[in-house]
Amino acid sequence: MPYKDPEVRRAYHREYKRLKRAGLSQTPGQTPVPAPFRVQVAQRILDILMEQMEAVRNDPEAGTLEKARCISYVAGAALKAVEVADLSARIEALEEALQQQKGSVAV
């Protein structure tokens, strides 16, 4: 991120390097999002997708093939949302375990 003011740029890079040495994957400008909140967002997305799937099923004007195609697409999106939420939580847990392991080795 380019900064006009050289002092602000140096401060940003100093903080970025400090976080990188500490093993954190976030940049100084990012706000950390807690895992429970991410899970809630994924759950909301799944709820919306399920509502849409039900709307497709109940649509009297849609043909069988249209319904099948749409439900297949929505199911794929729902599966991807579940996978992303699960992987995100697992990666965060692994990173936290590595941080704790680094801390105990350094002491």
Owning domain of residue 24:
1-31
Domain count, the chain: 2
Whether residues 27 and 4 fall in one domain? yes
Whether residues 9 and 51 fall in one domain? no
Whether residues 27 and 42 fall in one domain? no
Instruction: Tell me how far apart the alpha carbons of residues 74 and 64 are, in angstroms, rounded to a whole number.
Output: 15
Whether residues 81 and 91 fall in one domain? yes
Q: What pLDDT score does 23 carry?
A: 66
Whether residues 57 and 71 fall in one domain? yes
Q: Indicate yes or no: pTM above 0.75.
A: no
Whether residues 3 and 27 fall in one domain? yes
Whether residues 20 and 41 fall in one domain? no
Q: How far is CA 73 from CA 23, 34, 83, 92, in A?
A: 38, 29, 15, 29
pLDDT in tens, 57-101: 898 998 989 889 988 888 888 888 778 777 877 887 888 888 888
Whether residues 79 and 59 fall in one domain? yes
